[in-house]
Structure 1
Amino acid sequence: MVILASASPRRREILERFFDVKVVPSNVEETSMASSPEERAIEIARRKAFAVAKRYPKEIIVAADTTVVLNDMILGKPRSEHEARKMLELLSDNIHKVITGYCIIKGEKRIEGAEITEVKFRKLSKELIEWYLKTGEWKDKAGGYGIQGYASVFVEWIKGDYYNVVGLPIKVVVELMKLGLKPKT
């Protein structure tokens, strides 16, 4: 069994395809003073993992943090529809990076890293953005969109791991298998 230090239904869904999962949200502050978006994502994932590992020291813990970066500007989770609109306008007809930092803890062993996927959005019309905002899907999503849902129509192409854009790179599943965790059948 894997303990997921996150309340993200998307991360849970990805992990549950392979393993039995128990969700234990970390409830840590998701801020960082790290100098790069990759270091920031890893640092936050590490804090999430350690917070949960204190309560479950014998279990395998998985934590992650995803951020969207456009021209060195970090686009976190929008706090309002207005912020989501601005983010989508910025992402329109542009290439951005989705960075997920991850941390896996098993006893004294720690595996961490960051996965980067490039995403190119089509030119988004005002009408398309307004339609999307009405779906409410933008809530609690880095960059104000969920690639696995309605926002899939925004995407012209992606370069890299699709699951990373959803919220958890498939590399994490591979690392768990390397640790000896057997996938469900």
Structure 2
Amino acid sequence: MLDLVPQLNHLHIILASASPRRKELLERLGLKFIVQPSNFDEDLDKSSFPDAAAYNVATASGKLDDVRRQLVKDGVPHDIVITCDTIVVPCDDLSVILEKANTSDDASRMIHRLAGKSHFVYSALVVYFAALDRTVVRIVQTEVEMAPVSAATVAAYVAHPEAWKGKAGAYGIQDLASSFIRGIKGDYYNVMGFPVCTFCEMLQETIAAHPEILSTTQE
């Protein structure tokens, strides 16, 4: 995909996410884009979905639809709109979905729930291509093993809100939580919240099938 970056940078690309990690990872690819956060309420009824992956996709799709409506309303050109939603699911109970921690109690509860066990990190990537009027969806799953964590360590951890606030499962693998992440099976960047390789494959494959994407720019 890297060979396409110069051409992609002639398009109007929107990142429909306020996540600083997603912004950073896209910037590392050399892409030029505008950040347009979604106002979508992530409060869908989890019981109405057959599994966590379906819920994950529905939430990401809701974010994308919300941002697209705003872009159209404001007359903002958008050739490609990118969004992603990340959740954490304990391997021992796939019906449990852990989203963003917003309070220290949330963070403490989530870390105690995950400590000493393995869990899955799911990210739903949803990318809209205006030239096709079509979205492409991919789900990425990574298994993470967390070491046992004492109550004292959890208390010390939650005293640093920057390490867990607004993060699925109450941790960022690249931050303080690295001290109790024993190992992973799968994409490290998925655990950060944006599966870079899968995103690049999505663009590469979609553009290979529809090269007109690179020559169609909204005014």
TM-score by shorter chain over 0.5? yes
The 2-side partners of 1:164 and 1:173 are apart by 13
Report deviation, 1:57: 5.8
Aligned pair count?
182
Which residue of 2 is the match for residue 119 of structure 1? Answer: 144
What letter is aligned with 2:50?
S
* Identity %, equivalent residues: 35
Report deviation, 1:175: 1.6
Which residue of 2 is the match for residue 3 of structure 1? Answer: 14
Q: 2:103 aligns with which of 58, 61, 80?
A: 80
SS of 2:149's equivalent in the other structure is coil
The 2-side partners of 1:101 and 1:116 are apart by 9
The 2-side partners of 1:131 and 1:143 are apart by 17
1:78-132: CA deviation from partner (whole Å, max 9, x where unpaired): 2321121111111111000011111000111211021110000011122221221
What letter is aligned with 1:47?
G
Report deviation, 1:31: 2.5
What letter is aligned with 1:164?
N
Q: Aligned runs of 1:1-185 on 2, under 5 Å? A: 1=9, 2-18=13-29, 19-33=31-45, 34-54=49-69, 55=71, 56=76, 58-70=78-90, 71-72=93-94, 73-107=96-130, 108-136=133-161, 137-170=163-196, 171-180=198-207
Larger Rg: 2
User: TM-score with structure 2 length normalisation?
Assistant: 0.78
- Contact 2:14 2:78 survives alignment (8 Å): no
SS of 1:45's equivalent in the other structure is helix
Report deviation, 1:145: 0.7
The 1-side partners of 2:191 and 2:171 are apart by 10
What letter is aligned with 2:56?
A
- Contact 1:15 1:173 survives alignment (8 Å): no
Instruction: Say which is worse superposed, 167-176 or 137-146, in terms of deviation.
Output: 167-176
1:61-82: CA deviation from partner (whole Å, max 9, x where unpaired): 0011110011221111223211
Which residue of 1 is the match for residue 217 of structure 2? Answer: none
Question: What root-mean-square deviation, in Å, do the aligned CA atoms of Structure 1 and Structure 2 show?
Answer: 1.7
SS of 2:62's equivalent in the other structure is helix
1:127-148: CA deviation from partner (whole Å, max 9, x where unpaired): 2212211111111011111111
Which structure has the highest helix share of the two? 2
SS of 2:57's equivalent in the other structure is helix
The 2-side partners of 1:49 and 1:143 are apart by 22
The 2-side partners of 1:53 and 1:59 are apart by 11
Structure 2, gaps ≥5 residues long: 1-8, 208-212, 215-219
The 1-side partners of 2:189 and 2:53 are apart by 17
